[in-house]
Amino acid sequence: LALLRSGRKDAAADLAASFDETAVTDGQLAGSIVRALLEAGRAEEAVEHGERFLRAGNDLPQVRVMLGHAYMSTRRDDRYERAG
C-alpha cells in the first residue's frame, strides 16, 4: 500500500503480481494485492489473481470486494454477474 500511496502504481502492481496466491492467507494482504493491480490499470490481471485467491480457499471479504471492483473495471460481458 505504501507504493500505491506514493504514486508508484506500476511498482506496487509488479510486487503484487509476484505473490503466490496459495501462500497468502491474510485477507488484508490478499485484498491489497488485487487492489494494487486494479489501481495500476491491470483489471484483467486483478480478476485473475482474485479468482486464484478464491480457488486457493481464500474466500475473504476483502478479496471479494476488490474482485468485484476489478470485474466492473473490465469490459467482460458477464462483469455485472461476476461482480455480485
Sole residue written with cell 497468502 = 24
pLDDT at 4 over 80: no
pLDDT of 82 reads 84
Query: Using an 8 Å Cβ cutoff, are 54 and 23 in contact?
Result: no
pTM for the complete prediction? 0.82
- HSE on the CB side for 31, CA within 13 Å? 13
Q: Provide the pLDDT for residue 33.
A: 92
